Amino acid sequence: MVIGLTGGIGCGKSTAARMFERRGYRRIDCDAIVHDLIAKDPKVRDALIKIFGEGIRASDGSLDRKAIGAIVFEDGHRLEELENILHPRIRDRWESLIGEAPESDWIVEVPLLFEKNLQNRVDFTVCVFSDLSSQVERLGQKGMDRAQALTRINRQMPTEEKAEKADCVLLNEGSLAFLEDQVNQLLTRF
């Protein structure tokens, strides 16, 4: 079983994915793959510098993800350029990992599951849903001010639309125990 887990930024995808992981699912975090590609893949680094300029390079020579984020979340075209470089590599990486252990159950966190039309590459889709105020609050806890949070939220497909497209929706508006109960209920179906 390969479950594609999505939701808006700040909705609690990683929290839900860890709950699946504790129940025996192998977890793939596509955001972690992005971080790895930006930090370690010379082809990605060179392509990003070519497109976004030397200003995205940190003082130690690595790429500054915050500088890249500041560029792409202010300009939809620039975000699309970034996604065109990263997303084929992200998909290849997670499909390769699954291919190494096809007998395992997998939970794959794919923030842009529906935006990149990847729902047909998984067996079942789950959307973690939170209201806008919860998203903004969670992003604030990660150091993002309200304007930055809203800019990033508005660059994504509305969470309501993701929820409509998903096979199942987990509501992350209450306690962690409430979210965990929903995960447990879902897993009784498989």
The whole-chain average pLDDT of the chain stands at: 92
3-state secondary structure of 178: helix
The C-alpha atoms of residue 164 and residue 161 are separated, in whole angstroms, by 5
Q: Is the pLDDT of residue 76 over 90?
A: no
74 against 161, higher pLDDT: 161
Predicted pLDDT of residue 186: 95
Question: What domains sit in the chain, N to C, each tagged with a CATH number?
Answer: 1-25+105-190 (3.40.50.300), 31-104 (3.40.50.300)
Contact 14, 109 (CB under 8 A): yes
| pLDDT of the residue at 72 | 85
* Number of neighbours of residue 108 by Cβ within 10 angstroms: 26
Average pLDDT over residues 58-72: 88
- pTM equals 0.88
- The radius of gyration of the chain from alpha carbons, rounded to an integer in Å, stands at 17
Using alpha carbons, select from 2, 30, 26, 1 the residue that is nearest to residue 111. Answer: 30
Whether 16 and 109 have beta carbons less than 8 Å apart is answered as no
User: What sign does the CA torsion over 160, 166, 172, 178 have?
Assistant: positive
Residues 6+ apart with CB under 8 A from 185: none
Asked whether the beta carbons of 145 and 153 are under 8 A apart, the reply is: no
Instruction: Give the model confidence (pLDDT) of 115-165 as tens digits.
Output: 999 999 999 999 999 999 999 999 889 888 898 888 888 888 999 999 999
| Confidence band for 178, pLDDT divided at 50, 70 and 90 | very high
CA dist 3 and 56 (Å) reads 34
Q: pLDDT at position 124, please? A: 97
Q: Are 66 and 144 in contact (CB under 8 A)?
A: no
Determine the Cα–Cα distance for residues 49 and 56; give it in Å rounded to an integer: 7
Distance CA 31, CA 18 (A): 14
Q: Which has the minimum average pLDDT: 20-24, 25-29, 77-81?
A: 77-81
CA-based end-to-end distance of the chain: 8
Partners of 126 in beta bridges = 5, 168
